[in-house]
Amino acid sequence: MMNRFLKGAALVGATLALALSPAAAQRKQLLEYPSIHSPAVGDKGMVVSQNALASQTGADILRRGGNAVDAAVAMGFVLAVTLPRAGNIGGDGFMLVHDAASGADVFLDFRSVAPKTATLAMFMDNKGKESPLASRGYLAPSVPGTVAGLHAAHQRFGKLRWADVVAPALALAKHGVRLTPDEAFVFGWAKERLATSKASAATYYHADGTLYRAGEIMRQPDLAWTLGHIARDGADGFYKGPVAARFAADMQANGGIISMADLAAYRPVWRQPLVGSYRGLQVVTAPPASAGGATLLNMLNIIENFDLNASGAGSAQTLHLMAEAMKMGYADRYRFLGDTDFVSVPLKGFLAKDYAKIRAAQIDPAHAKPAAMLGSGDPTRFESPSTTHFSVADAAGNVVSTTYTLGADFGSGVMIAGTGILLNNQMNNFSHEAAAEALRTGAPPPLNAMAPGKRMLSTMMPTMVFKAGKPWLVTGTPGGSTIIDTVLQLVVNVVDFGLNVEEATHQPRIYQDAGDKLRVEPNFNPDTVRLLTAMGHPVTSDETMGSAQSIMIENGLFLGGADPRRPGALAVAP
């Protein structure tokens, strides 16, 4: 499918030749562009992220001879300095890599794990509900995986010296970052959460407690100290030695449970990515403990049974069919997915095309069905005996899609004293209440029940779509539970409707989980909302969804789509 951007853009040589011919000059007096949203264009690669400094760093790494993994690792560390509400060394994530030399697609799981001494009782109140301690404070963090993950990726694929890819973040932490209006605003918004520990308050606010203003420079010397150890000693600079000692001491002093033994024992895991197809194109995405990748492929399989192109992009009919598929996908996700290192997951059945046909047959093309009526299916019949995302592509054909997170914006609010490490709050991503209910009734525990060393489920899902065996679309997004639906819509927009990557990014989004309410973004077309309501969808609206940072590779060009939903996003060609 020829991308609409390339059909009319001045960058296409054949189009230019035609436009310059005498006959064409008589017919056309003005250069025409087919879309109101045009992507960034490069011929030597592309870098896209939620933060301009991170994107510029990644492009600079490519210019200096680094490959896509070098650039992604450097960006991961820079985002810990420039976008601390989501970028991190105290959180976790997933990285999907296409290695051009071997043609292999590999997936790196650096999701965090529960500490060894964690117990269910720590995270429950006396009413059988999850305690706020699971979301904020020193019990909320799980053992971080980001540094181990970035180091493992670089050890396997990187070209530049490790210290050189950490150096940009180290310099920014030491010398400071000039805050944009949005970056200054979020510290005011998060002041209560960041008061959880003295170190975070001291780092992100002036000594008298007042806010940094836009244009002021914020320095993070403690984070620079930690990055210095990481630059010199690799992952051991974080998980062992002086940094780990400060980490464990601050945990112990404040009632936390992450120990030096927990840190030393952490390992990222190389896994096989999930591989499916949609409309004849190969889709490669995240395996469990991501719930997102399997759910995406499940939904695409269902939608493939309908002709979305006939109903059109953004139409009520298209959105209705997608919403019903989302409803069923989320219901199956909650019932059947968990960390495959600990539980058995019916992945083959979950991803089977025949299973999707049965689910698709349950959809009424004219009316929404209540979630309780659709429910979850039975994929076992088909078995045999604030997060952020960045995408990178280099001129050699290597491609990286990375999503990583602190959980909530600014995570647990806890910064480890003397290190600048802001910690995640991922312990609340286990199914604590369902586990407590199962314990009370004697029922089997949910697949996402907490266990020491276990990875909690995640919706993060770095994803690639391949055409003729080559990476064509590289994408992913933050957004918590909206991640799956956001990536689904981006894929449908480019595959079914032929939108360029920037057009696909700008399309208004919907969100439907396993419940009945259909959420739409602000200022959604009111005529479409009326039609959806008439079809039986209870429509609500509050805020935008996701921040997809995507690359399309087509006709020898790298097309970058930076999502404007969160300020500061930038696509940069090296």
Closest CA to 403 of 464, 342, 354: 464
Give me the residue label for tokens 């495959």. 340
* Continuous segment of H or E residues that includes residue 224: helix 221-233
Phi–psi pair at 7, nearest 5 degrees: -65, -35
* Cα gap 203→208, rounded to integer Å: 12
Q: Judging by beta carbons within 10 Å of its beta carbon (0-12, 13-18, 19+), is residue 120 exposed, middle or buried?
A: middle
Phi–psi pair at 429, nearest 5 degrees: -90, -5
Compute the C-alpha angle 340/345/348, nearest 5°.
Answer: 115
Closest CA to 280 of 518, 552, 542, 496: 496
SS3 202: helix
* Cα gap 361→339, rounded to integer Å: 30
Tell me if 462 sits within 8 A of 108, measured CB to CB.
no
For residue 185, give both structure tokens. Answer: 């605003």
Kindly give the interhelix angle for 353-360 and 316-336, rounded to the nearest 10 degrees.
120
Q: Which residues are bridge partners to 422 per DSSP?
A: 415
Please state whether beta strands 510-512 and 470-475 pair in parallel, antiparallel, or not at all (unpaired). unpaired
Tell me if 541 sits within 8 A of 522, measured CB to CB.
yes
* Continuous segment of H or E residues that includes residue 501: helix 501-506
For residue 475, give both structure tokens. Answer: 């994408």
Closest CA to 156 of 233, 70, 230: 70
Reduced 3-state DSSP string for 337-374: CCCCCCCCCCHHHHCCHHHHHHHHCCCCCCCCCCHHHH
- DSSP string for 419-475: TTEEPP-GGGGS-HHHHHHHHHHTPPPPTT---TTPBPPB----EEEEETTEEEEEE
Active-site residue identified among 196, 387, 403, 405: 387
* Cα gap 16→7, rounded to integer Å: 11
285 catalytically annotated:
no
Which residues are catalytically annotated? 387
